[in-house]
Structure 1
């Protein structure tokens, strides 16, 4: 038996993995129905992007998506932006969820720091039916906006599904978003109904959000009703409907069919440089994309228990809900991921019987830094795959996950975004995984790396572009009637081609290395390198808790590349540690990209979804005022910006 320390992070599927994969079943079905024979994944991917209409029509029929009519035209217009998918069809996300109702397993497991509750499919349907009925009694109709100020609790799922069933458009903010940030997001939608909880339990503390809720309500003048979910047991104000009253309806679930592109939900950009952009996705596009990604790439099955640590403000919450579309049991967690200890999420996974477990790359690296061994400490034999996203996961992170579990499992890293509420690049159960690499470009995603001349490159870094439309691309941006914001976000650089803003290398093995944001690329002596390469090298040091690197072009033609580090408790940035940091970068990344200065700071500010603020910090260091490059409500610790402004002055 292989020892934990001998595990490399790489993985090769066995014959049983291949035989049992959903993708194997899909490929066989393509042959049986005369749609084509494919020798391997690469052949299938190439056909899926050569003829995207063929591919998505096949996805529609393979998953037997319900509609009032049979699709006659798949892609009426392939122009980007503005592609027209499945014109004339009517669908509803909620219909695709409840077709999987069963008594064999729960629909979801709601976990908090105070315990967990299994929700049967029957309970989920009944509460969704009651909430949808309540919305209709309030006069809510298709296209109206229903919004949430909610942590990751089961009632957030119910509220979303109830809104979807009515045809209303959903949006939600987690309660760690400050009031100005909530209003900046939800206020622009002019919502008619707000669903909120009275607070939450976080890191052992009871967090009362009643004052924030009152302020939010006062700044949303279009509200006609508010519903209160009792997370910590506070009474509802007189003009607020308690959740229990909403459930006092014994009614069947009524689902309104809507057109394919009818707005399902609005997700928001980080809002670091202005009002957050409202990114609108449609029912049909989300259904097809999530069925494809979760079933064919992540290989979720009805018997799986699917857990991805997320807040309701992050697109991974929306993807987690997609587990219901394939009949899996989804696991929600409301609380601190490190409550009591860094490995707390592993305990959650063990107690909930999780089989597919995902989290942000930062969490896995925190566990690795402490050399935790959750496979020894918790009953995790059921975990068969681990997912990672949010930032590039270095090879050391892949290795630790396997070593932490004490056995080889596929580590499925994925890269995509809020913009498409899915991944462009992800996993495939039929293809080997090499530690530090994403093993495939996703089906139906015509992804290329483009060099300086706007031509495809291989085995060298380039811009991530998508040359053909995907159904889950935004149907529009909110308050963008002429589409200017939408075009400016993705199509200004290459008209008609989606430019995502990431920098990647597609290898000769067709795997992918993501280097980070292309606008944060480090250009030292004419050699470009992604910031992720620096982070991968530095974050392996036990003394470094977090870090941020930027490259600043100076007025005199010079180039200043500082590395800011936050140290673990008890560590000191002395000459010896500086030398070790430099050596790690020199050997693990590039001798040309050794920083000019290594500077200790009390923390690294990030967006509310955990992304480093490389470009705003760079602009602050070059003399811009923080107020002109950042919206404080979009930053987790805005007080840290003053630290970087101080370095701009000195």
Structure 2
């Protein structure tokens, strides 16, 4: 068993939302779940009661109530979650209308913009009206090839507020990479930047965009954010679609409408890596994403209203979709665009004190680079606001655990996570109630019946094997695009062990509950 590097104090535990949730469950169901392992086992054994408790704890608003929590057959994929229920995703991210800061957008040059909750709703309302006037409605696709800016967030919220489907890539993707993704889903609208910056260099997107536009015959409207090319003009872009600059396309103001859609209505289309062919278009549901992200932000990350969430990500990675859901628990989100090391390796660490970041998310590669550069944040920064450091993208080495607790902060929950684009969330995740052990992930996510199976399909502990999930969960994708019979979906996730989700990760569950991804 590895050394304990951090243990939450009794006082800290008492203030967590996870502890409040445990007390709610005990009170409601007359139980005595004494700790997290007991709560997790209950969340698997009583999935319907668990997910209903998540709905109630986070005040999820169904415009039409469900007829049940879960209707399923014995094997996956066959579940219908909250059948009959209708809701709107954007509505839950835009519950506040006050003058608190909802979003801060910072680029590598230090340019900073912010929107209050009221201003964010104003922008969403204005863009929503213009999208509807452009013919966007239920089930239409709005695609974006954008840097991580507030305009991208407003685009997503306006799209999902009217029941359209959002799909995003990053401007650093190659021409064919963008075409391989968006060409399959046939977007009606494309939001893009005329240029972007990385590591101090401006990059003109015009030629690449014109190649992409030739291959998107479905497009009816192009919206161009000048961003790093303020000189951009409508005439620069060759397309049969209408072309507008961002600031000319809509006027902020008014109150957004929220179109109620079924729980399983498509919300996002995300993409597999495409390393073995054209990327798979993975379709995620409105209700599934909302409930899973509320659970992960509010319970596992212990985000409270008014706190600040940051994750270093581009818009082409599922962590962007994960990051912006922090709004649903009333937290502010910090969006960063550019190199994490420009103009120097301390650049993102400076933001922790500057913006009072509570939960800071990054990658193992980033932490290793900071250690190599000799950065010692505890000597140069206060870090008083920081309570959780999230890490995903690859396994975090034991040496990086040592580095964080030696050179960052000792009273810090270092939460290494593992999940993926396939579920736009996590199977293995951090936890504010349990210790952090050197080189280990803390454990299972609530409601996720994960195990490690050997080649014979038997669960093993203390041995390496395949990470599987044996029971339905709401964030399972509702399908792949152009796969009406779900043959591709079943082949991708359910063929190794029929009726059981196989994640494709080589994992190990340790006897005391910790996890390793190999």
- Normalising by structure 1, we get a TM-score of 0.76
Partner residue of 2:25 out of 5, 30, 47: 30
Alignment of 1:220-239 (within 5 A): 220-232=216-228, 233-238=230-235, 239=242
SS of the equivalent of 1:188 reads: helix
Task: Note the alpha carbon deviations across 1:439-493, whole angstroms, 9 max, x for none.
Answer: 1211000000112321111111121010001101100001112211111111111
**Selected match of 2:54 from 53, 59, 72:** 59
1:142 aligns with 2:138: yes
- Once the two structures are TM-superposed, the CA of residue 500 in structure 1 deviates from its matched residue by 0.7
Paired residue secondary structure (2:78):
coil
1:112 to 88, 107, 115: 107
Kindly provide the CA deviation profile for residues 499-554 of structure 1, in whole angstroms up to 9, marking residues without a partner as x.
11111111111111111xxxxxxxxxxxxxxxxxxxxxxxxxxxxxxxxxxxxxxx
**Separation (CA, whole Å) in 2 of partners of 1:185 and 1:426:** 29
State the SS of the aligned residue for 1:301.
coil
For this pair of structures, how many residues does the alignment match? Answer: 507
1:393 to 2:389 alignment: no
Describe the SS at the equivalent of 2:29: coil
Which position in structure 1 is the counterpart of 2:154?
158
Whole-angstrom CA distance in 2 between matches of 1:189 and 1:147: 9
Equivalent residue for 1:19, pick from 14, 21, 24: 14
Residue 172 (structure 1) aligned with residue 168 (structure 2): yes
Shift of the alpha carbon at 1:407?
A: 3.0
| Structure 1 residue 379: Cα displacement | 3.8
Q: Tell me what 1:291 maps to.
A: 294
For 1:109-508, list aligned pairs within 5 A: 109-114=104-109, 115-232=111-228, 233-238=230-235, 239-248=242-251, 250-508=253-511
- Residue matched to 2:239: none
Residues 392 and 514 of structure 1 are in contact (CA less than 8 Å); yes or no, is this contact kept in structure 2? yes
How has the CA–CA distance of structure 1 residues 181 and 44 changed in structure 2, closer, same or farther, with 3 Å as cutoff? same
CA–CA distance in structure 1, aligned partners of residues 201 and 431 of structure 2? 41
Partner of 1:39: 34
Query: For 1:10-44, what per-residue CA distance to the aligned partner results, in whole angstroms no more than 9, with x for missing partners?
Result: 21000111000001111111122236331111111
Identify which of structures 1 and 2 has the higher relative contact order when contacts are C-alpha pairs closer than 8 Å and 6+ apart: 2
Aligned counterparts, 1:510-525, within 5 A: 510-515=513-518
Give SS of 1:505's match: strand
Bigger mean CA offset, 342-351 vs 151-160: 342-351
Equivalent pair of 1:149/1:195 in contact (CA under 8 Å): yes
User: What is the CA–CA distance in structure 2 between the aligned matches of 1:250 and 1:449, rounded to whole Å?
Assistant: 51
For residues 598-609 of structure 1, the aligned pairs below 5 Å read none
Q: Aligned partners of 2:66 and 2:26: how far apart in 1? A: 21
Cα distance, 1:136–1:184 mapped onto 2, change above 3 Å: same
Q: Secondary structure at the match of 1:171?
A: strand
User: Which ranges of structure 2 fall in alignment gaps of 5 or more residues?
Assistant: 236-241
Whether the 8 Å CA contact 1:297–1:428 is kept in 2: the answer is yes
CA RMSD of aligned residues (A): 1.4
Unaligned runs of 5+ in 1: 1-7, 516-650
Where does residue 610 of structure 1 map in the other structure? none
Q: Do the aligned partners of 1:9 and 1:408 also contact (CA within 8 Å) in 2?
A: no
2:383–2:409 Cα contact (<8 Å) kept: no
Rounded Cα–Cα distance in structure 2 between residues aligned with 1:32 and 1:95: 29
Contact 1:152–1:311, Cα closer than 8 Å, also in 2: yes
State the distance in 2 between where 1:346 and 1:474 align.
35
| Higher CA-based Rg | 1
Is the contact between residue 65 and residue 86 of structure 2 (CA under 8 Å) also seen in structure 1?
no
State the distance in 1 between where 2:227 and 2:356 align: 24
Give the structure 2 partner of residue 86 of structure 1.
82
Q: Tell me if the contact between 1:101 and 1:327 (Cα under 8 Å) persists in the aligned partners.
A: no
What are the superposed Cα offsets for residues 73-117 of structure 1, whole Å, 9 maximum, x if unpaired? 1111154113111110001111111113332x2101100023111
Secondary structure in structure 1 of the residue aligned to 2:135: coil
Displacement of 1:219 after TM fit?
A: 1.2
Can you list the C-alpha shifts for 1:202-253, whole angstroms capped at 9, x where unaligned?
2112221122122211211000001111202133314521111233254321
Structure 1 consecutive aligned stretches of length 4 or more whose deviation exceeds 6 Å: none
